[in-house]
């Protein structure tokens, strides 16, 4: 069986989402001095999972008027909200009913756990 490598580019939304994940939920056994670029510190499968989560979320919110909000902040709030941190869409500059709708969509995605995989990189499960 031939092994093929699938490659994809991480968009800015996903990169900010991953930076927030590492900032907020870095595993205790991860040497933070190793953290630089998510593409170097996070395993390939986890990068793909994060990319797909972000693509689905962005597609879900495409019907909402988010034009007044920065994608970088929305990616940051997506991670914080889905993880149940004390910050997120509900406490930012999002007016109702947008704040509630974004919160519901982020919560629909459930939580993710960060841990060190067998390859020594951060995994997102």
Q: What is the mean pLDDT of the chain?
A: 88
CA dihedral 30, 110, 99, 77 (to 10 degrees): 10
Domain ranges of the chain: 12-27+38-124
* Portion of the chain with pLDDT greater than 70, in percent: 90
- The pLDDT tens digits of the residues spanning 102-124 come to 999 999 999 999 998 888 888 99
d(CA 72, CA 16): 6
Q: What stretch of H or E contains 21?
A: helix 12-25
- The pLDDT tens digits of the residues spanning 35-58 come to 667 778 888 899 999 999 999 999
Distances (CA, A) of 94 to 23, 24, 61, 105: 22, 21, 13, 14
The mean pLDDT value for 67-86 works out to 95
- What six digits make up the tokens of 24? 């907020």
């Amino acid at each position: 069986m031939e092994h093929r490598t699938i490659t994809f580019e991480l968009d800015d939304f996903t990169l900010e989402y991953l930076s927030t994940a590492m900032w907020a939920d870095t595993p205790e056994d991860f040497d933070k001095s190793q953290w630089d670029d998510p593409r170097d510190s996070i395993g390939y499968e986890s990068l793909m999972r994060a990319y797909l989560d972000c693509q689905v979320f962005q597609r879900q919110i495409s019907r909402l008027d988010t034009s007044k909000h920065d994608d970088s902040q929305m990616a940051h709030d997506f991670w914080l909200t889905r993880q149940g941190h004390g910050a997120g869409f509900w406490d930012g500059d999002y007016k109702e009913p947008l704040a509630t709708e974004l919160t519901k969509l982020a919560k629909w995605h459930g939580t993710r756990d960060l841990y060190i995989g067998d390859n020594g990189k951060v995994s997102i499960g």
